[in-house]
Amino acid sequence: MDTRGKDALIAAGALAAIVAGTYANLSWSGPQERPLDPAGLALIVVAALSLAFRRTAPLAAGIVAAASGVVYYAAHYPGVFTAAPALASIYTLVVLGRRKAAIWLAAALAVSMYGLMALAPEDPPPGSWMALLSGWLVAMVLVGEVTRSGRAYLRAVEQRAQAMEQRAEAVEQRALEAERTREEAALRQAGEERLWIAQELHDSLTHSISVVNVQTALALELLERRPERVREALLAIKESGHEAMNELRATLGVLRAPEEVEAGLSGLPRLVARAEGAGLRVTHTVRGVPYAPSPEVDRAAYRIAQEALTNVLRHAGAAAVTVSVDYTPSAIVLRVENDGEPGVAGPGMGLIGMRERAVAAGGSLTAGPGETGGFAVHAELPGGQPAEPHGRTGREPAERHAQVRAQAGEGA
């Protein structure tokens, strides 16, 4: 039930109680009483029904109840219960925090009642309820104040409990969010690790397997026409297989121990020799004074050259290749150019992988048809010697690697 409905029931109950108490002569207001008539009964009804508005319009209800009581006693109607609705309105005003309005209403009621007593031809008898009116008014103010303070305390306790519950929920939510963030970070790191392993295996094994394929095709072709050259092809296959096993062993070793995979610009002559053994005509030139760059740059340059030579073996046929490295104080420029079948740089994983390595090392890479035919790979990487040693594997942090893949994907 809402507030208005409860107050209506209280008003009806107060009306019934006041009427019953008055007709039963349960109270006496003095020797000047006269019988209750319809006008006096109407005043009782108005005073009692004002309680239906004691919380929605407490001051107006209190004024109506007090005025009805003053008129009732001025007309010398019997009983003292008609003042009860005014006392209830004063109590309600204090409970609702309107203490000043309650005090003014109580003072107005007291002055009016005691004025009537002073003007009466006879003094009120000892022990009369009317003589105790001021005590009842003060009591209503005090009881209302105690009730208001108690309710305020209970509300404060409830608010603190709600605040503690909300803080507990917030802490739990933050804990869940932190756990979810850790899981996402772990999944992201695992994905970056898988990508790194796949890239390492691709770069280290594709070149050797391409050499094996080329030499196998050559051995099959020479088996009947020039069998004496088959031995050379088989030896090249054996050497490439041995090299592939070493690359695989070194890559897997990085996952178990802190040793670095031996892949850098110092290994370019060996890489060129393997390409020549597979039937390519390779020219290797170095300009400037060689120096040891950072491990990331050193490794990226080697892998880019390895992937470029692998692409020549797989797609360009028996082409002539030029591998040049230019050392300057600020950059290392790597060029791998061939005169094989012209083509267009496609979106293959090899080109994307080369761009990823170049961008991860802080450089850039372009690949496409050469000016005079064939295909050209041009990588420009940061030069200068490293200021301090880097990590054991040359792997980039997960967030850096994600940026690298995004940039390389756009370049592809």
For 12, counting Cβ atoms within 10 Å of its Cβ (0-12 exposed, 13-18 middle, 19+ buried), the class is middle
**Given this model, what pLDDT does residue 399 score?**
45
**Given this model, what pLDDT does residue 364 score?**
92
Can you state the angle between helices 295-311 and 349-360, rounded to 10 degrees? 160
Residue 261 DSSP SS3: coil
Look at residue 128 and tell me whether its pLDDT is greater than 60.
no
**Phi then psi for 364, rounded to 5 degrees?**
-145, 165
**Given this model, what pLDDT does residue 286 score?**
92
Q: What percent of the chain has pLDDT over 90?
A: 7
Most confident of 23-27, 199-203, 345-349: 23-27
Average of pLDDT values for 18-41? 75
Residue 362 DSSP SS3: coil
The residues that bridge with 376 in the sheet, in sequence order, are 337, 368
Among the residue ranges 69-78, 84-93, 110-119, 303-312, the one predicted with the least confidence is 110-119
What the block records as the tokens of 34 is 């006269």
Give residue for tokens 């005073």: 47
- Between residues 227 and 331, which one has the greater pLDDT? 331
Q: How does DSSP assign 321-359, residue by residue? A: EEEEEEE-SSEEEEEEEE-SS-----S-HHHHHHHHHHH
| Pairing status of strand 331-338 against strand 281-287 | unpaired
Dihedral angle at the C-alpha atoms of 338, 340, 344, 348, nearest 10 degrees?
A: -80
**Given this model, what pLDDT does residue 157 score?**
92
- Are 294 and 332 within 8 A, CB to CB? no
**Given this model, what pLDDT does residue 242 score?**
66
**Given this model, what pLDDT does residue 186 score?**
76
What the block records as the tokens of 141 is 């103010």
pLDDT category of residue 145 using cuts at 50, 70 and 90:
confident
CB contact burial 356-393 (16+ within 10 A = b; e otherwise): bbbbbbebebebeeeeeebbbbbbbbbbeeeeeebeeb
**Given this model, what pLDDT does residue 31 score?**
62
Look at residue 179 and tell me whether its pLDDT is greater than 50.
yes
Domains delineated in the chain: 3-125 (no CATH), 183-411 (3.30.565.10)
Look at residue 246 and tell me whether its pLDDT is greater than 50.
yes
| Pairing status of strand 320-327 against strand 281-287 | parallel
Measuring CA to CA, which residue among 107, 99, 110, 161 is closest to residue 132?
Answer: 110
**Given this model, what pLDDT does residue 387 score?**
47
Mean per-residue pLDDT of the chain: 77
pLDDT category of residue 393 using cuts at 50, 70 and 90:
very low
What the block records as the tokens of 97 is 């925090």
**Given this model, what pLDDT does residue 412 score?**
44
Most confident of 84-98, 178-192, 381-395: 84-98
Neighbours of 150 (CB within 10 A): 11
- Are 325 and 334 within 8 A, CB to CB? yes
Q: How does DSSP assign 57-121, residue by residue? A: SHHHHHHHHHHHHHHHHHTT-S-SGGGHHHHHHHHHHHHTT-HHHHHHHHHHHHHHHHHHHHHSS
Can you list the alpha helix ranges (DSSP code H) found in 24-49? 38-49
- Are 301 and 380 within 8 A, CB to CB? no
